[in-house]
Structures are given as C-alpha cells and as structure tokens.
Amino acid sequence: MTGENRPKYDVEIIRPQMTGHDVHLRTKPPAPAKLKALKKALQAFHTLETMAANIYKFQLTKEPSELNRQLIAAMCNEMTHLQDFQVKLYEYGLRPAFFRPAFWMVGFAFGFVSRLLGPKAILKTGIWVETKAVKHYAELLETVDWDEQTRKMIEKDQADEDGHINRWRNMLGQIH
C-alpha cells in the first residue's frame, strides 16, 4: 500500500490507551500453517522493534536539544510497538525469537555509531532503518491473514514509522 491509500492514524499518539480487556487469549488456536505464518511474522516484528527501540536509545545524548526530545519520543513509541507484538506473541501461546539478542546488539551498534558521527548521521540512520521497516510492515500486512484488531494495530505502528521518517527528514532539512 502506498502512503495515500493507507488508512489514517494519529501518529501524535505515541502510546495508545490499553486496558486489561484488550488482552485476548486465543482459545481457538488457528490451523498449524496459519499459526506458523503468524509466529514468523510476529517474531519478525518483535525483533525489528527491539532493534528500533535500541537505535533511538543509544542515539540519545545528555544535551537538552530538540533532537534528543524527539529521539526520546520515538524511543517510547518503539517501546509501545515492542509491547504490541510481545503481547500478541503470548496471546497465541508463542514466544519471542530465540536469536532476538542479536537484534538488540545490531540496534545498539547502529545507535551508538551514529551518535558518534553526529546529528546528520543520527537522522540518516533513522530514515534508512524506518524506510526498511515500512516496507517490511507492508509485506507482512499483505502476506499474513491478520484478524481485524491485530491488523489495525499493525497499521497504526506502520503509520508511526512513516511519521518517524517524516520527522527525521524535516529535521535533516533544517541542518545546514
């Protein structure tokens, strides 16, 4: 789906409200083939968000700048995405990917190295990674048979990634 015909979500909301009633036990497990597809996709999203949250976390410096304020907001947003997929995995009786710590390390490396290189590298790294994420989201939205509630959650998260790209592009345009 392209940006124009994607449903609209409010990307200013970085942590949507959730109550205990929003957690659903999947008492009727899907057919094995579908469960396998769900597992693969949810684990992919979960590892991707682990990496994203870490990138922003390790890009942060102590300076009270607007960039750091936005990085904190983005980090919080990615932690929300991480929660979204972690909850879904456990609802289906699944578990996060065993090799997830490797993605934690990749996120740390991207974040840490771009921080050393400065604001331009920080913003360019964000744009590059988020562009890959949006594509990955589109692919998994299209190929997996999601229930309505999960699909909306994924679409909102994808819109957030788009929001991050726009924010970093604007900020990069302001650096001379």
- With beta carbons less than 8 A apart as the criterion, state whether 68 and 61 touch: yes
Shortest Å distance, C-beta 56 to Fe ion:
8
d(CA 102, CA 64): 31
Question: Closest Cα partner for 31 from 83, 106, 92, 120?
Answer: 92
Backbone angles phi, psi at 108, to 5 degrees: -60, -45
> Residue 82 and residue 123: Cα distance in Å, rounded?
21
Q: Does 88 bind Fe ion (CB under 5 A)?
A: no
Verify binding: residue 155, Fe ion, rule CB under 5 A.
no
Q: C-beta of 82: minimal distance to Fe ion in Å? A: 8
Min CB(91)–Fe ion separation in Å? 19
Site string for Fe ion, 65-84 (x = CB under 5 A): -------------x--x---
Contact status: 156 vs Fe ion (CB under 5 A):
no
Q: Segment 2-61, which members bind Fe ion (CB under 5 A)? A: 49, 52
Q: At closest approach, how far in Å is the CB of 33 from Fe ion?
A: 27
Query: What is the CA 66 to chain-centroid distance, rounded?
Result: 21
Residues near Fe ion (CB under 5 A): 49, 52, 78, 81, 130, 161, 164
